[in-house]
Chains A and B, each alone.
Chain A
Amino acid sequence: MISPLLLSLKLALVTSGLLFVIGLPVACWLAFTRFRLRFLVEALVALPIVLPPTVLGFYLLLAFGSRGWMGESWQRLTGHTLAFSFEGLVVGSVIYSLPFAVQPFTSALAAVDRRLLAASASLGAGRWRTFWRITFPLALPGIITGIALSFAHTLGEFGVVLMLGGNIAGRTQTASIAIYDNVQMLDYQAAARQSLTLIAISFALLVVIHALNRKRNWRLQ
């Protein structure tokens, strides 16, 4: 059976991986579009920051249930419900951590000097080549930051997980839920151990990211 900590790490890894794939196109669109109503999309992406996790969790729970539109199609596709499953947690976490990935992605992409992109085009490069050879590498520090933030944010996620996943050991019991559980059962020692581990992992991750970005920025200028 998978331990709560490992489950949290797995959830964070899958979530930040998905956010890279989903968030990058969204961020690209936000950074480069001249669409006037862009701010509406920006506000929508930022919503999970201000929303209480329980509110988000509540609506997702309704959608994920076997009578909810998402849950129904998921059940038809896979044969089991989305709520109270690892997959359900992943979907919830992706939505919940979306701004933590998309916002750093967007500002990093928007900060890439447009003259470099113009130069690339005049040297015969199409959009794809310009993106992967110029835009992406130059925005990489911000993209790494976004991935790290969404990873750390998912690692510490509580409200959404509780609403969506319940507390099923080995399936949906993440580290933060386990800590809460231990406190409820007055097992302060176990809670302290788990809390410390979580802090250590998150801190180590942020230290590595910032050190990497610093080295990279120094090399570029």
Chain B
Amino acid sequence: MSLPDFSRNDVRPNDVSASLQVEISLPLPHFQLQCSFQTRAEVVVLFGPSGAGKTSVLDCIAGFRSPHQGHITLGERTLFSSQSGSNLPVRRRRIGYLSQQPALFPHLTVRQNVGYGLLDLPPAERDTRVDSILERFRIAPLAASRPSVISGGEQQRVALARTLACEPELLLLDEPLSALDLTLKALLLELLFDWQRERAVPILYVTHEQAEAYTLSSRVLVMEAGRVVADGEPHQIFSAPVTRAQAALSGYENLFDVVVEETHPALGTMSCRINGTALLLESPLANLTAGDAASIAVRAGDILVATSRPSGISARNILSGLILSIEDRSAMVELRVSCEAPSVPAAELGAELRPGLPAGSHVEFRAHITRGSLQSLDLHSGQTVWLILKTHSIQLLRT
């Protein structure tokens, strides 16, 4: 059995080089900033009200401010340590920082802005790198423009491209999308998450909007008055799930209306049936009872694709289906797969056919895989594949 390797959870999870450790204290005007946390190569949302000290934390990590005490390490590098007195200057930290303001250099073209962090490279190599990043962020047509003549969404895309061009080992995002409208937000998040999945670099994402916190990541650090007061999965931290519209704009490609069939409080899960079909999915438990209507969302990038039925796997949802189409996107390949309820009712599988429910109705899933996976699996339209969905990759939405 060969499983493509692209799920966010499968990317170098134990790689020390991609881990951030923060333990800092710094007196601020109204309170003492005192926080400590660790992240790996994952997206972590730093959530909290305005003035909770979120930006100060980012400033300390980036090196714009120095904590009074503590240490900050990124991988094996010590960025700051009050004990040894080391304090790496901003320019040596290799950390990308993006805030609400794109802060593009107004006197340089888009191309020069993106290439700014690569000035030490030989010109030919720099050109190649800049070209590929302009292409990837779909800003190649703007290359010769100055920032003042392009739109706000384009400016933020250029700023993101400029930051990522330097191959940072950590990305700090301080409400980078709050000035943008929904469509632009979705596009930027897609570009950002594709990149994150590829590079397995930790991202610390600051926001004060709960909806954003909910949809962006599976881990939320809640800050209040300078302290981390909660650390966990969004559904543990927030009682109200997100809305369908919020899910759609934050890059959940698969959205379904479902009915709760059965709850399993002991397992922390429940079975949901996709409306109008016999397809059952096992989702995380929510404050719902059998018969309740809900919506669920799954990121296309969170779905694994296998060419044969996997066995001995922890994922609770394994669905067989036919590939309808294979579409080459710039950074990955999108599969459209038509699934129907499996004919083999296997109790150990979350998806099963119930008697008395309509069979044969199809549900279309979108799954993202890398080009490499596409080649090694030799996928083609009409082929039968198995889709694997972890229970916790299924996001329950408010209806």
User: Which chain A residue has the least Cβ–Cβ distance from B115?
Assistant: A123
The yes or no answer to B162 lying at the interface (CB within 8 A) is yes
Knowing A124-B94, A125-B91 are in contact, say whether A138-B106 is a contact too (CB < 8 A). yes
Residues of B within 8 A of A209 (CB): none
Binds B, one of A37-45, A76-84, A111-119: A111-119
> CB-CB contacts of A12-38 with B at 8 A, as 1s and 0s?
000000000000000000000000000
* Interface hits, A136-175 → B, CB 8 Å: 137-138
Closest chain B CB from A109 CB (angstroms)? 15
Residues of A within 8 A of B62 (CB): 122
Number of A-B contacts (CB under 8 A): 59
Q: CA separation between A121 and B27, bound complex, in Å?
A: 25
Q: CA separation between A194 and B94, bound complex, in Å?
A: 61
User: Which chain B residue has the least Cβ–Cβ distance from A140?
Assistant: B107
- Check if B91 sits within 8 Å of A126, measured CB to CB: yes
The yes or no answer to B95 lying at the interface (CB within 8 A) is yes
The yes or no answer to A221 lying at the interface (CB within 8 A) is yes
Binds A, one of B97-105, B196-204, B281-289: B97-105
The yes or no answer to B90 lying at the interface (CB within 8 A) is yes
Knowing A113-B103, A118-B64 are in contact, say whether A123-B95 is a contact too (CB < 8 A). no
Knowing A134-B105, A138-B107 are in contact, say whether A123-B116 is a contact too (CB < 8 A). yes
Q: CA separation between A118 and B63, bound complex, in Å?
A: 10
Closest chain A CB from B172 CB (angstroms)? 9
Knowing A137-B107, A220-B148 are in contact, say whether A123-B64 is a contact too (CB < 8 A). no
Residues of A within 8 A of B146 (CB): 219-220
Closest chain A CB from B301 CB (angstroms)? 28
Contact of B119 (CB < 8 Å), options: A129, A219, A220: A129
Residues of B within 8 A of A119 (CB): 97, 103, 105
Q: CA separation between A124 and B91, bound complex, in Å?
A: 4
Residues of B within 8 A of A221 (CB): 106, 148
The yes or no answer to A213 lying at the interface (CB within 8 A) is no
- Check if B90 sits within 8 Å of A121, measured CB to CB: yes
The yes or no answer to B96 lying at the interface (CB within 8 A) is yes
Residues of A within 8 A of B94 (CB): 124
Closest chain B CB from A145 CB (angstroms)? 17
Contact of A220 (CB < 8 Å), options: B64, B90, B107: B107
> CB-CB contacts of B106-123 with A at 8 A, as 1s and 0s?
110000000011011000
Q: CA separation between A115 and B147, bound complex, in Å?
A: 15
> CB-CB contacts of A186-221 with B at 8 A, as 1s and 0s?
000000000000000000000000000000000111
The yes or no answer to B333 lying at the interface (CB within 8 A) is no
Q: CA separation between A31 and B381, bound complex, in Å?
A: 64
Closest chain A CB from B297 CB (angstroms)? 34
Residues of B within 8 A of A124 (CB): 91-92, 94, 117, 120, 166
Interface residues of A, count at CB 8 A = 20
Knowing A118-B103, A134-B105 are in contact, say whether A125-B119 is a contact too (CB < 8 A). yes
> CB-CB contacts of B279-323 with A at 8 A, as 1s and 0s?
000000000000000000000000000000000000000000000
The yes or no answer to B163 lying at the interface (CB within 8 A) is yes
Contact of B95 (CB < 8 Å), options: A122, A125, A134: A122
Residues of B within 8 A of A129 (CB): 119
Q: CA separation between A118 and B162, bound complex, in Å?
A: 14
- Check if B148 sits within 8 Å of A122, measured CB to CB: no
Closest chain B CB from A130 CB (angstroms)? 9
Residues of A within 8 A of B120 (CB): 124
Residues of A within 8 A of B99 (CB): 115
Q: CA separation between A13 and B301, bound complex, in Å?
A: 65
Q: CA separation between A124 and B116, bound complex, in Å?
A: 9
User: Which chain B residue has the least Cβ–Cβ distance from A125?
Assistant: B91
Knowing A129-B119, A220-B148, A221-B148 are in contact, say whether A121-B103 is a contact too (CB < 8 A). no
Closest chain B CB from A219 CB (angstroms)? 8
Residues of B within 8 A of A138 (CB): 106-107
Q: CA separation between A184 and B273, bound complex, in Å?
A: 106
- Check if A123 sits within 8 Å of B101, measured CB to CB: no
Residues of A within 8 A of B106 (CB): 138, 220-221
The yes or no answer to A73 lying at the interface (CB within 8 A) is no
The yes or no answer to A54 lying at the interface (CB within 8 A) is no
Residues of B within 8 A of A116 (CB): 103, 105
Closest chain B CB from A164 CB (angstroms)? 41
Task: Choose among B92, B94, B107, B120 the residue with the greatest number of A CB atoms under 10 Å from its CB.
Answer: B107
Q: CA separation between A37 and B101, bound complex, in Å?
A: 33
Q: CA separation between A220 and B108, bound complex, in Å?
A: 9
The yes or no answer to A120 lying at the interface (CB within 8 A) is yes
User: Which chain A residue has the least Cβ–Cβ distance from B89?
Assistant: A121
Q: List 21 A-B contacts (CB under 8 A).
A: A113-B103, A115-B99, A115-B101, A115-B103, A118-B97, A119-B97, A120-B116, A121-B89, A122-B96, A122-B163, A123-B163, A123-B166, A124-B94, A124-B166, A125-B117, A133-B119, A134-B105, A137-B107, A219-B146, A220-B106, A220-B146
Q: List 15 additional A-B contacts (Cβ < 8 Å) besides A118-B103, A134-B105.
A: A115-B101, A119-B97, A119-B103, A119-B105, A121-B63, A122-B62, A122-B95, A122-B96, A123-B117, A124-B166, A125-B91, A125-B116, A125-B117, A137-B107, A219-B146
Q: Considering the complex of A and B, which 3 residue pairs feature the smallest CB-CB distances, nearest first? A: A123-B117, A121-B90, A115-B103
